[in-house]
Structure formats: C-alpha cells, structure tokens
Structure 1
Amino acid sequence: MAWEAWLTVSVVIGVLGVLSVTRLAPDMVFLAGLTVLLVAGVLTPSEAFGGLANQGLITVAVLYVVVAGLEQTGGIHWIVHRILGKPRSLAHAQVRVMSPVAFLSAFLNNTPVVAMLIPAVSAWARKFNLPASRLMIPLSYAAILGGTCTLIGTSTNLVINGLILERTPDDGLRMFDLAWVGVPVAIVGMGFILLTSRWLLPDRRPALSQLGDPREYSVEMLVDKDGPLVGRTIEEGGLRHLTGMFLAEIDRDGDVLPAVSPQERLRSGDRLVFVGIVESVVELQKIRGLTPATDQVFKLHGQRHNRTLVEAVVSGSCPVVGKSIREGQFRSHYDAVVIAVARNGERLRQKVGDIVLQPGDTLLLETRSAFAEQQSNNRDFFLISPIADSAPPRHDRAPIAIGLLTVMVATVSMGWLSMLEGALLAAAGMLLTRCCTVDRARRSIDWSVLLVIAAAFGLGMALDKTGVATGVAKTVVGLTGDGAWVNLATIYLLTAIFTAVITNNAAAVLMFPIAYAVSGDLGLNFLPFAIAVMLAASASFATPIGYQTNLMVYGPGGYRFADFLRIGLPLNLITGLVAVLVIPLVWNF
C-alpha cells in the first residue's frame, strides 16, 4: 500500500483507540483525524467535508426540528402518559414498557422517547415496588429494536440510505422496506429480554434514587374548567406517576381532602396541592388540563409558551422581604410570578400569595426568558438559575404536530415524497403553524452528532480513495472464501464490533465502503450488505457506549458496565443471526 493508505489506516485506528480509552468528545476526535488527512493531502476539502451535503445527514438534522415540534406542543408527553398502566407482574411491566416504546421509536428519534420515559418509568417502578434495573435496559433496548423497523427509526438508517442513493440512485429504501427484517429482529429481541431478564438483569436500586433534593416545593394547581382531567380519577389523569412529587391534598370549594385516593374523581376548579422537587414541577407544568392556581400568571406580559421557570434566592436587601408576596406586589416589581417557595426543607402550608418572604427563601418563578440575564446583577437576589426546557407546552397545537408527523409518514410511505422532502415539509409545517419556535428549532439540532457523521463520511472516503477498503475486502474474502452468507455475517460482525467501541453512525459510515468492496469482489448485489451494516450499527446492545440510549439509562438503572455485556452480548448474537438469515430472503444476493 502507498503511504496515503498507511496514514489513513493509522488515523482510523488512532480515532478508534482514542474513543475507546478516553472520554474526549467524539466530534472533536473525528474532526482531528479528518484534519490530519486533509493537511497531509490525502483528501481535498470537498472530499473531506462532502458528507455535509449527504441526503441522510440533512434528513437527520431536519427530523430534530420535527421532534422539537412534538415536544414543544406536548405531543410526545401526551403519547407517553397513555402507555403505562398497572402491571400484574414484572414481565407484564416489561411488556407495557417495551411494546409502545418500540412502536414509537419506529417513527420518532428514539433519544427523546427514552428521555421522556426515564422519569415516568422510575416513578412507576417505585410505585409498584419493581426494580428499575429490570426496566431501564429493556426500555433502551426496545427503543433500539423499534428503530430498526423503518427508514426514519434511527439516524443510522437515514445515513446509510443516503450513501446507497449516492452509489446506486435506484436502490434507495422506502419507509417500511426495513420492516421485513426489522420486525422479526425486534420480536425475537424483545422475546429474548422477557425470557432471560430474570437471570441476566440485576435486581438493583438505581444509584440516583439514593440522592435527595433539599428544595422541596409546595405547588398549587387548578383543574381547568371543561379540561381533559374533569371527571377522571387521579390514577387515570396520570397524577400518581410524577417523579419526586406527590399529591398532598385537594382543596374543593373550601373543603380539604387529605390522603387523596387514586380513585378520587377530579372536578372543575379543584385546587390540587403537590409537594416535590423542581424537576417534578416542570413535569407538572406540562400536563394538559392543569394551570397554576395563582391568576397572576395570566397578567404577565407575553404568551405563556414564551416564558420559562427560574429559581431565585431572595437576599436580605430585597424590598419584598418581610411582606407577603401579594402585599409586596412581586409581579409588578419584577414582571415575574412566584409559583412556589422552598424554605429549609419545610412545607409552607399557606397559599402562595400569603407567604411572607424571608432572606434565603428559594422562589420558583414563571417569567420571560430574559429575566435571568437582566436580573443577574440585581442585589435583590443572591442567585438566579434558569431551568432548562421548562416552558409550558402549547397543548392546543399538539393535534397539529401529531397530524404533521402522520402526514409525513403517510406521504413518504406511499412514495409520493422522498424522506428528505417529507421531513422538510413537516419541519416547515411545525414552524409555520408555530408548533415549534425558530429558536427552539435551532437549539434542538444536535450538532455534535451531525459533525461525527460528517467527519465519518470523510474518513470513509479516505478508506475508499486510498484503496484500504478494497484491501480489507480482499482480506475478508480471502479468509472467509466466496460464500455469500459467510461474508454477509462477517460484515455484520465487524460492524457490530466497531459500534461497540465508537458511535453507531460512525461505525456504519466507516464499514460502508468495505461492505461495498466485498460485494463487488464477489460479484454480488450490494444491497444485502448495506442492510447488514445498517442493522448491525443500529442494534448495539453489548456496551453502554455503543448507543446513546444505553448511556441515558446507565445512571437511572444503577448499572455497571458488565450488566450490559451480560445481556447485551447474547442479544447481539441472536439478533445478528436473525438478521443475517432474513436479509438475503428479502434482498437477493
């Protein structure tokens, strides 16, 4: 091989090694490797950064905006709170978690689906005395398995489809083409989890559940007149599944109902008193049919969906200290409304407006997003801290957001639009109908993920251009012979190994030219090998670093690295076997 090929091999091995043994940001590591090849003249600038124009990469970026619209309108929240019920056993609980998550992940990016469900599943496990460690890995794995069923299920599917379109424009995949192999893989995978989790998953309390939060707030919420909660029980309304918060009492026309039964039916105008931590208050704000009991929030300037929650610690020089919140006219002074007050861990039983403020009180405020910046140097407060993603959802637009997603899936499935065109129109619809603000759309895009994918395209180009991919392909064929099934299994295995130590998108892009070269050497149809790369990179279970959702459940489940190996490694082998057997039946060699 020429020096360019040896340099490319060294850079790729170096990138893989650094990512395996350090915690450096993957996007920076990949860009560093790409820079070496660019400066050395192995790649031209257009070759190094050509991945930024790839259809799959652009589609991934646009879908972030679509999901942001669902989040900002409460669409995902609305869906999530209808999938959990009362489990009859641990196995039934796992089915209740995995089945809907797999379905949702087939049409939505699985990262926000898992993020939305982690707190709900944690509280659900505590309520029914179930070990969270036997629910969190199934939650992540179900999201991964569901993502293998459709073209938009994971970003990896879109990226590889973009590469297929570049090589053979007529072979691009449609929305549900992957279901032929993805659905069998998902069914076998979830069946394996249900049958073996008793022995392969630990019964362990999550590490995060041991931590307390000294800032417990008492929050009063009103049941909206003619809202969706009127006439429903506490259980049916999802008010018993809030992480870190409980319903202390109901004030109904002056009568206080303590120790509320989960079967108590809500009435219009009920004043619900919740006690819990700040993260749970954010969750409470997003439930459709509840509004803060203080009418002051409706007197603030601007619409509610443009506001946010802020924590502020009152100083001794604050002019409202020694007065009640109502007497001190807090809203008029600061254009902010006090939602709740925390004081030394005590529960303050007065109504919010009657609380007399003291120095050191922590206030939970609803206010405009610029409040924290404008008041940061104000001596009235010791500390001001905005709470991320705490803007109240636009529930009235949730049907529009869900409708736009449905139209996108339908038009792409029927072949009327390409995946990129459908995603662009859906994202534009989210912005035009104000389901998602422009600022939220910009913040929703995970640029680090996109940079990793784009840089991996550059490294893949270098492997192809310098002949390394061809050389590896000849070595693989030389070791395995010319058997189509054996080579397909080898490509799947190599991709799975790469995915276990680096990101799934990067592994898929690096393996793509090798798989293409192997199929070319054997004179076989390339599509089965591309599907194998796609599936192997998406279905990564053996390590927590192999897939982002695995990392997300690592802490809440109280897991150790070996826990993923114990159940994930055999699951990788079983799903890989199913994939390798089914793929050639759908896409002939």
Structure 2
Amino acid sequence: MEPSQALLLVVYLLVVAALFSKRVKPVHAFGAGGLFLVFSGQLSAAELLGTLTTPSLLILFLLMVLAGAVQARLGLAQALQRWTQNASPRDFLLRVLTPTAFLSAVLNNTAVVALLMGPVRQWALRNRQAPSTYLMPLAFAATLGGMLTVIGTSTNLVLNGLLEENGLKILHTSDYLLPGLLVVGVGIVAMSLLASQILPKHAVDAAEKSREYTVETRVLPQSPFTGKSVQEAGLRQVHGLFLVEIVRGERLIAPVSPTEILEGGDRLFFAGALEEVRELTRSNSGLALPQEDLTQSAASSALVEVMIPPGSDLVGAQVRGSQFRQRYDAAIVAVHRRGERMQGRIGDMVLQAGDLLLVIAGARHDELMADSKHLYSLTTQAPLQPLTPVKKGLLLAATAGLAIAYASGLLDFLTMLLGMAAALASVGWLGWGDFKKSLDWELIVVLMCALGFSKALMDSTLINVALSQIPAASTWSTFTWILLIFSATTVLTNLMTNVAAVALMFPVVAVCIASQPELSPLQGFLALAFGASNAFLTPFGYQTNLMVMGPGAYQSRDYLRFGAWVTAVYSFVILTYLYFL
C-alpha cells in the first residue's frame, strides 16, 4: 500500500469513527475530511467545489426550495382531517399511511411527517386511542414512500450525484418504482396488522402523563410564600405538578424537603403532564412564570406545544441566546425531552432535536411559525393562503404544461423544476427569502465533501487493494454480494445518517461492481439505495423517527421491537426483488 493510500485510509476510518461516535456532527466530520484531502493534495479545491454543480445535486437543492415554498400551502393537514373524519380506528391507520407514503414520494418526508403528526395525534386523543399506535407507523410510511421515486429522498439524489461525478449511469424513477411499490404495499399492510400488537398501548391519560414536562416558576420577593416552608405554602404539589428542585442563586436544592424555607427570588421547578402545566399557567398560583410580560396574560393567550426537528438551527442553542422570543413571539414555559427529567433554569437549557416545548404564544406567533422549518407546531395549523382564481389558473396551466413538456422529452427534469420555480414566483409563492429558509447549508457542505471524498477514493486503488486481501471474495455468488452491500449499508444508516452511509459505501460498491461481472450495476446500486433507507431500528436512524419519539412517548426499545419487524419485511421484499432482477 502506497503512503498516499495509507493516508486516505486513515482519514476514511477517522470520518467513520467520528460519525459512529455521535459526538461529531456529520458536517464537521465530512468538512474536516474534505479539507484534509485538499490540503494534502489528494483533491483540488476546484474538484471539491465542482461537485456542487452536478445536475442531481442541483435538482436536490431546487426540490428543497420548491417543497419548502408549497408544502405549508397545500392544506395537507386539513385534507387528512376530511379524509379520516368518519374512519374507524381500524381503518384510520390505512387511511393515514397510504397518502403519507405517496406524498413522501414527491415531497420532503420530514415536512410531510411534521404536517401530519399533529392532526394524527389529535385524532387519536379525540377518539380515545393511543397516539403511540399511529405515530411510529406514520414516520416509517414516509420513509418507505421516499423509495418510490428518484426524488423521494435525498439519498437517492445523492447517489445519482455520486454516479454522475464518476461517469456512471444514473438511476431513474423507473428503476425505483416497482421495488418501491412492493415495499410500500407490503410494509403498510404489515404495519397495519402489527402496530396494535407490538407498539405500546398507553391509555390516553397515561400517554399524556408519560410526556412529563419541567416548568420553571419564581417566588416573587413580596409573595406570601416568602418565609414559609414548602409544606406550609402548599407547594409540594400544585395542580398535580410535583416540586422537584429549587434553585437559589447558584445553589441547587434537590430533592426538596417539605421543611425547606422559601425565599424571595427562589426558582421552583415542577414536573408533570401537559394538562397539569396548562392548569398552572392559567391559575393565580402566586408564582411567576418566565418572561412575565408575555406569560402574565397566559390565561387568555394560546398555550402551544411545539417540537424542535432534527436539522433545526435551534439544536445545540442555549434558550437564553437563541432569540426564541424575538423569532417566534412566544415564551417557553416548559420542556420535555424523551422521558428525561430536566434540571436547571429553562434559560440555561441547551435545546436538542426532538425536544417538546410548551410555549405561551403572542399575537404574531402563528404568522412567524407559518413558514418555519426550525420549529413545528403540534397543536395549531398554519392558515392557508388561497390564490385568486386567475393565479390558480396560471399555476395549474404552468404545472400541466411543464409536466407535458417533461414527459414528451422536450425538457429535462432540472429545466422543468426551474420552470416551476418561475411559476411559483409569479403567483407570489416563492421569493428570495424561501431560498434562504429552505436550503440546508449543513447538508450542502456534507454533500460537497462526501462527493469529493468518494471521488478521491475512486481515483485511488485503495479499495481494489483492500478487496484483493480477501481471497474468498472471488468465489462469492451474486446474491452474496447483494446481501453484503445491503446489510453493510443498513448497519451504517442506523448508526449514523443515510447520506453518510451512501457516501461511505459508494466507492466500495462501485469497485465491487467493476470487479464482479456477474453483479449488475442496477442490482448493486439499488441494494445501496434501499439499504440506506432501511432505518427503522433506532430513534436516530432517520429524522422522522426522532420527530415522533416525544409526541408518541416512545422508548428506544419500542423502535427496536417494532422496527425489527418492519426491517425484516422490508429486507425480505427488497432482497427477493434484487435476487430475481
């Protein structure tokens, strides 16, 4: 092995180790790896930056912008409510999962789940059903639906970008459609049959109580509680909330003794269920809530439950420095994090993906939340912005014309998307602000460096050297190669991210295909693509898995129990299809 190959192998293994550790964000791991390749001379800066101009990635960026502009205006939640209005609990799951899967084939699946999980959870509570029976299948259906088309998930487009960058034939929707329909059909039927048998059936009241919030209050200097013990003040339990700790200056008092004497300025932290927190905010308990100018009108203001999605710029931010109040005209009064009991002042808390926040909303909250991709509401829906008849006719005519031109071969897909962008801009649904809001800059850096990294690996003979060290590889059957590619990618995507799994596995798969004539490129790259979306075993395998964890009151073991069945069904269907392909 040459020194340059050894160096490349070390960098490759360091990137893999960093992603496995979960302590390093993908953007930092790939960014550092990409820069190292440039400064070590294994990749030029022009080659690294040039990866962003591949048509597949330009399509991905445009789709992110277009989906962000239209998804909130399509009325998906309202349509779902009409579609499921008279559904029985048995029919409801099928009525939800089927449109979710097909919407995810053309829209961002994270956004689809964000728009639908609130109405699904509210339907369950209204009908005295456990939300946990419906929310995990909702997330999984979106993942399955993303495999129906080449634009259904970012990994499919990233794979095409890698293929283009290396001069290989790209995959098309026709390559995904049949196996995608098989996994969607079989997967939805399997989940409909298994969800009620395997997923936890929290009683409705118990489900709400299992989502324990931590709420911060303050004893005012002139409060009648000052100088009294916790027991005398009646604050050991307030409206069903339990007093878990007191912060006095820099001193933490926990557990709290009933004889503890209260002082003015003490911060009292209570833990309890959602409705109990609602009652506290609306009562005259003699305790002050954070940001009094907004929360003092809590009795007449909307109390809204929101969630921080993966990829939000709020992730990793301290509440105090996040400008939450200015950005969303809302005050955070309580926090829930995957069953953990939160400690310390709310202003000092560092927000994480999947956190549920209970906020008291100001007058402009709905307006500021309407187009946000960094915070999703579980209790309110953004108001629709209807078009005038003239604008609606213009948009429909433009959409139909562009679709016909694309289908007839007059336009390529990228040009069609540019035409759609112009049509949306003409009716006021797309502006420069949408580009800023919708583009995920961390993802762009990851993709740029991942493609550059893969190019460096392909240009070297490192993988060929590694495969030559496995003498038995030359005797493996076609199905053995398919199984190894699919299984290795499945493991990586459940332990890191699907984009990272595709980027790291692509050079290996490409070399395997080149060295094994009996393994067709379609078999190998479809095994890679479907393996990258086989992320059902952990809450962190895919963004939508984590999004439903808090609202569904799931534990990690719930993903393993239910996800193992979905993984088995998904794997059987795909491996059987690829075997006979």
Shorter-chain TM-score bucket reads: 0.5 to 0.7
Per-residue Cα deviation, 1:539-574 (whole angstroms, up to 9, x for no partner)? 321222221111211221112222222222342233
Alignment of structure 1 residues 462-473 onto 2, 5 Å: 462-473=456-467
1:574 aligns with 2:569: yes
Alpha-carbon shift at residue 98 of structure 1 (Å): 0.7
Corresponding residue number in structure 2 for 1:17? 17
Corresponding residue number in structure 1 for 2:497? 503
5+ residue gaps, structure 2, are 218-273, 276-298, 307-326, 333-358, 369-374
1:364 aligns with 2:358: no
Alignment of structure 1 residues 26-65 onto 2, 5 Å: 26-65=26-65
Any conservation in 2 of the 1:122–1:132 contact (CA below 8 Å)?
yes
RMSD: 3.7
Structure 2 letter corresponding to 1:395 = P
Give the 3 Å change call, closer, same or farther, for CA 362–579 of structure 1 in structure 2.
closer
Give the 3 Å change call, closer, same or farther, for CA 79–514 of structure 1 in structure 2.
farther
Given candidates 513, 522, 529, the residue that maps to 1:527 is 522
Corresponding residue number in structure 2 for 1:103? 102
Q: What secondary structure, in the 3-state scheme, does the structure 1 residue paired with 2:32 have? A: helix
Per-residue Cα deviation, 1:93-126 (whole angstroms, up to 9, x for no partner)? 2212211101111111111101111211121111
Query: Within 1, Cα distance between the matches of 2:28 and 2:396?
Result: 36
Query: Within 2, Cα distance between the matches of 1:495 and 1:447?
Result: 25
Structure 2 letter corresponding to 1:150 = T
Corresponding residue number in structure 1 for 2:506? 512
Corresponding residue number in structure 2 for 1:195? 193
Structure 2 letter corresponding to 1:556 = P
Corresponding residue number in structure 1 for 2:266? none
Give the 3 Å change call, closer, same or farther, for CA 395–49 of structure 1 in structure 2.
same
Corresponding residue number in structure 2 for 1:542? 537
Any conservation in 1 of the 2:93–2:134 contact (CA below 8 Å)?
yes
Structure 1 letter corresponding to 2:171 = L
Per-residue Cα deviation, 1:449-477 (whole angstroms, up to 9, x for no partner)? 22222221122123222323324444678
Give the 3 Å change call, closer, same or farther, for CA 18–530 of structure 1 in structure 2.
same
Corresponding residue number in structure 1 for 2:483? 489
Name the TM-score, length of structure 2 as normaliser.
0.67
Any conservation in 2 of the 1:140–1:549 contact (CA below 8 Å)?
yes
Corresponding residue number in structure 1 for 2:142? 143
Give the 3 Å change call, closer, same or farther, for CA 165–114 of structure 1 in structure 2.
same
Query: Within 1, Cα distance between the matches of 2:116 and 2:23?
Result: 26
Give the 3 Å change call, closer, same or farther, for CA 76–452 of structure 1 in structure 2.
farther
Structure 2 letter corresponding to 1:99 = T
Any conservation in 2 of the 1:175–1:412 contact (CA below 8 Å)?
no
Alignment of structure 1 residues 441-480 onto 2, 5 Å: 441-474=435-468, 478-479=472-473
Alignment of structure 1 residues 18-417 onto 2, 5 Å: 18-89=18-89, 91-167=90-166, 171-204=169-202, 205=207, 209-211=211-213, 277-279=302-304, 310=329, 363-365=362-364, 393-396=384-387, 411-412=405-406, 415-417=409-411
Name the TM-score, length of structure 1 as normaliser.
0.66
Give the 3 Å change call, closer, same or farther, for CA 510–405 of structure 1 in structure 2.
farther
Query: Within 1, Cα distance between the matches of 2:576 and 2:13?
Result: 31
Structure 1 letter corresponding to 2:37 = L
Query: Within 1, Cα distance between the matches of 2:301 and 2:121?
Result: 15
Corresponding residue number in structure 2 for 1:7? 7
Corresponding residue number in structure 2 for 1:263? none
Query: Within 1, Cα distance between the matches of 2:154 and 2:330?
Result: 36
Query: Within 2, Cα distance between the matches of 1:445 and 1:555?
Result: 26
Give the 3 Å change call, closer, same or farther, for CA 43–452 of structure 1 in structure 2.
same
525-534 vs 133-142, which moves further: 525-534
Alpha-carbon shift at residue 399 of structure 1 (Å): 7.4
Corresponding residue number in structure 2 for 1:436? 430
Query: Within 1, Cα distance between the matches of 2:497 and 2:74?
Result: 30
Q: What secondary structure, in the 3-state scheme, does the structure 2 residue paired with 1:545 have? A: coil
Any conservation in 2 of the 1:5–1:466 contact (CA below 8 Å)?
yes
Query: Within 2, Cα distance between the matches of 1:87 and 1:175?
Result: 33
Any conservation in 1 of the 2:301–2:362 contact (CA below 8 Å)?
no
Give the 3 Å change call, closer, same or farther, for CA 112–208 of structure 1 in structure 2.
farther
Q: Percent identity?
A: 28
Give the 3 Å change call, closer, same or farther, for CA 489–409 of structure 1 in structure 2.
farther
